Structures are given as C-alpha cells and as structure tokens.
Amino acid sequence: MTAPLAGITVIDFSQFLSGPYAALRLLDMGARVIKVENPDGGDLCRRHYVSDTRIKGDSTLFHAINRGKESIVLDLKTPQGLAAARRLIAQADVMIQNFRPGVIDRLGLSYDQVRAINPQIVYGSISGYGESGDWAVLPGQDLLAQARTGLMWLSGNAGDGPVPVGLPIADISAGACLTQGLLAALFRRERTGLGGHVQTSLLEALMDMQFEFLSTWLSKGETPPERMEQGSAHGYLGAPYGVYACASGHLALAMTPLDRLGAALDLDLSGDPFKDRETLCRRIAQRLTDKPATAWEADLGAQGIWCARVLTWDEMRRDGTEMVRQMLPPALPIRMDGQRPPPAPSGPELNQHAAALRAEFSLD
C-alpha cells in the first residue's frame, strides 16, 4: 500500500498528548515525524508515569503516543538551537506546537515568523483555551479542561457529583481536531500552493464533543440534562437507555420502544419514556436482576432488542471480533484500501536520531 502521506515531513515541537497525538495520526498515514525535544530531559511525557512499567527508561504513555517518530534535542533558547530548528522547518511540510500562548512567539517560531522561512508551511497550534481572553493564560491540562466545560456533569448517576471521563478525552479530541484541520490544509496546499495556520484548543474540542447536548440545552430553554439515580448513560434520552446490574454482570440497553421491550421482558412498561424515566428504569432494573447479563444479551438480542453486555478489556479481547485483535496494541483506527499499517513498536530514545538528522538537514 502507498501511504497517503508518504513524502510529508512533520516537525513536532509539542509535548504531552494533544499535539503528539496529531503527529502520531499523520505518521500512521505515512508522514515522517521529527520530534524536537528540549535538552532538559526532553518531552515531559517521558516522565509522566501512568504505571510503574517503563519502556527503555521512559513512561509507557510516551511510547504509546510517540511510536515511530525520530528524536532530536535542540535548545531553542540558544542561537544555535533556534537556527537548527529553522533549517528543519524550511524543509518541512507541517509544524506542530502546543506551547502556552505567547511562548512560541518569544522563541521566534510563531506562525508569521515560520511563514517567512517557509511560505507553504502548514502550521498547527493547540492551546488550552485559545490565544486571547481571561482563560488563555490558564494551564491547558485535560482534567482542568473537563472541569471548565461542563463535561463532568454528563457522566455518573444523579448523586455522584461531577464525574470526569476516565481517559484524556480533551487531549485526544483536540489532537483529532487538529489532524482534520492539518489534512484539510495540506489538501488546499496541493490545489493552491498556499500554506496556512490551523488552530484548535482543548476548550473547542470538548465543546464540540458536547454538540448534541449543548444544542439541546440551548433549544430547550436552557433546561440542563438530568442524570438518573442508577445506571445513567445520557442526560436527555428517555427510558430504557442506561446500564443495568444483572444477576451477574451488567447490561447496557439502548434506544428501544418500550412496548417491544416490555413484551420481551414480560413487564408492564406503559408510561412516558421521558417524564416517567426513573420509574420505568427502576422496573427494568428489578427485572434484569433475575438472570445473568450473558443470558439477557442472548435472549433480548435474539428478539431485536438493542443491548450489550458490559465487557472488561479481557472479555473484549476474548469475545470480540478479529478487528478487536487488530487494534491491540493500539493502531491506526482507519483502513486504506482494506489495509491497516502496522504500528511501530515504541517511541525514540531521547536524541536518538540527532547525528543522522544533523547530517541530512545540515543543522551544524
């Protein structure tokens, strides 16, 4: 397979997750990614441990998000390091950065400064909350962005208080948004020769992820969503939507007409799915405790009821389709012409490719 981005060179100045995730997606589609790291230990993600497991002395998280990239250390605060960075940029197609607003300008690598070096560059920026306004100076971190965008009130049950999403949803969604913008800008460049500046933020990405809820809220007199007492899965959808404890395991029920579900469960489910949501869901919950989730999934699924047993990772791997196994370890979630490129096994050691890159790009 000819990779769609073969021949594209990306210079990645970003750290942690959001920017490196965008660079990883481009790499998975065939781009070459050169990761520029600072001399003080490199990307902070190398030391951002999510477990006591290490790969080549660095965190597993670093290798998951930086697999297949090349690493070079440049001190952008020195004339020599900045000059080398500019020579790299002059020969690149894409540049990515996620410094706090103002930092990249002070370093001498703002979009306008870079465009003067390479007019056709496609330049990607991720911030926490945009480049201006009262929030612009605040730390752009995933949990804090979840806290500031209302997202924490959409998960969990009514009495739980705010519940964060248990993965870095702001970073990953912002990285995905930036990837879309970079691909669109590269496509425009192919047609017009024009480069461009693609910008997004954790704030914009999380608000976009909530578009369904925010649109409903604004259209419904700003009536907020309500979480159910138990098994809450959506703040606006009516019964039976939710997650239910069974005799063993749990079962998720999606949108299903109550009369059909009532017949399948031999249960009276007459009532309004929205106004009577709590009462109806309690009746369903009581009935589902009669059998294990595996039995309910088989019985209800055979009757066309949209349901799924709640699986652990081990169960997903054991019981899932071949596609599940294709995605372990995590790989590009896109297939091109029926094929998925195999993921690189790990990220680079700090400054691993310095000698080769300095020779190739005449950085000394």
Active site amino acids: 171
Inter-CA distances, 273 with 35, 79, 241, 359, Å: 52, 66, 9, 67
Residue 305 amino acid letter: I
> Residue 316: phi, psi to the nearest 5?
-60, -45
Residues 6+ apart with CB under 8 A from 291: 246, 247, 299
Torsion from C-alpha of 188, 192, 195, 198, nearest 10 degrees: -30
Question: Which residue's entry shows tokens 């049950």?
Answer: 157
Residue 2 amino acid letter: T
Task: Decide if 198 contacts 122 (C-beta within 8 A).
Answer: yes
Residues 6+ apart with CB under 8 A from 347: 55, 58, 62, 63, 64, 65, 66, 67, 68, 69, 71
- 159-173 per-residue burial string, b: 16 or more CB within 10 A, e: under 16: eeeebebeebbbbbb
